[in-house]
């Protein structure tokens, strides 16, 4: 099997480095895409082109699985269709609807209200989202990522341009889709992800431990979930 891994906001391929290593160790081809997220001249169509280009460079044989994390859920499906992939997996993904932009997704899904309710349940002051003084990266993204792993991924970090949030998602290709949800995600809470996956895809998420950056905090469990998804859609035997 070959696996193409698309990062979320910030576009850093380094987000996936531990999962890439684990997939390769298991005998599978794996490549993570690096997206120039800080370039305001590039939006969703350009991101899809870059993902397709990366997918065409993966060596090896076997079916292709395209995986999108968070914001990567907007570019991964279209790229998968163009690449003739066996299927798509979303990890803590912004599950889109046809014609919806990533900028519209937040209000359309009720993400802000879901995050605020989750904050209250866990005893935190609710934050409206990135840009709100109550929102901090440590609390929502890094709370379960080991210090050594953070240090190894710092170089790839970059600010996310707003351009990618403007273009509408063109629609889902005729491919199997699986969803993986992290149990301790504070940004996209587990119950919120499950509701959106049911409403928009008619699927139940495969739940793994970890927070929003689960591929960094729980790479072994995420890798296992990707392999389960691959078997479920027929990209791997078993």
Average pLDDT over residues 137-147: 94
Residue 155's pLDDT band, with cuts at 50, 70 and 90, is: low
pLDDT 10s digits, 10-36 = 999 999 999 999 999 999 999 999 999
Q: What pLDDT sits at residue 154?
A: 62
238 within a domain of the structure (yes/no): no
Contact indicator for 105, 169 with CB cutoff of 8 Å:
no
78 or 134: which carries more pLDDT confidence?
Answer: 78
Edge-to-edge strand ranges of the sheet holding 29-32: 29-32, 2-6, 64-69, 87-91, 177-182, 206-208
The pair of structure tokens assigned to 56 is: 């065409």
Average pLDDT over residues 66-81: 98
Q: What is the CATH number of the domain that holds 115?
A: 3.40.50.1820
Domain count, the chain: 1
11 within a domain of the structure (yes/no): yes
pLDDT 10s digits, 156-175 = 568 999 999 999 999 999 99
161 within a domain of the structure (yes/no): yes
The domain in which residue 65 lies consists of 2-233
79-105 as b/e: b if 16+ CB within 10 A:
bbbbbebbbbbbbbbbbbbeebbbebb
Query: What percent of the chain is predicted at pLDDT more than 70?
Result: 98
């Amino acid at each position: 099997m070959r696996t193409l891994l698309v990062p979320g906001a910030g576009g850093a391929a380094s987000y996936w480095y531990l999962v890439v290593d684990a997939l390769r160790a298991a005998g599978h081809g794996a490549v993570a895409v690096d997206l120039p997220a800080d370039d305001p001249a590039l939006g969703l169509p350009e991101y899809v082109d870059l993902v397709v280009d990366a997918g065409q460079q993966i060596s090896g044989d076997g079916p292709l699985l395209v995986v999108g994390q968070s914001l990567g859920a907007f570019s991964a499906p279209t790229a998968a269709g163009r690449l003739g992939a066996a299927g798509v997996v979303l990890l803590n993904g912004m599950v889109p609807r046809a014609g919806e932009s990533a900028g519209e997704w937040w209000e359309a899904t009720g993400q802000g209200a879901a995050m605020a309710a989750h904050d209250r349940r866990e005893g935190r002051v609710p934050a409206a989202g990135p840009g709100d003084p109550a929102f901090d990266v440590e609390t929502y993204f890094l709370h379960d990522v080991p210090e050594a792993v953070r240090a190894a991924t710092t170089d790839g970090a970059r600010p996310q341009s707003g351009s990618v949030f403007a273009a509408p998602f063109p629609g889902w290709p005729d491919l199997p889709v699986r969803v993986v949800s992290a149990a301790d995600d504070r940004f996209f809470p587990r119950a919120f992800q499950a509701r959106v996956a049911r409403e928009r895809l008619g699927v139940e998420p495969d739940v793994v431990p970890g927070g929003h950056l689960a591929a960094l905090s729980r790479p072994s469990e995420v890798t296992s979930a990707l392999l389960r998804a691959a078997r479920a859609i027929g990209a791997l035997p078993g």
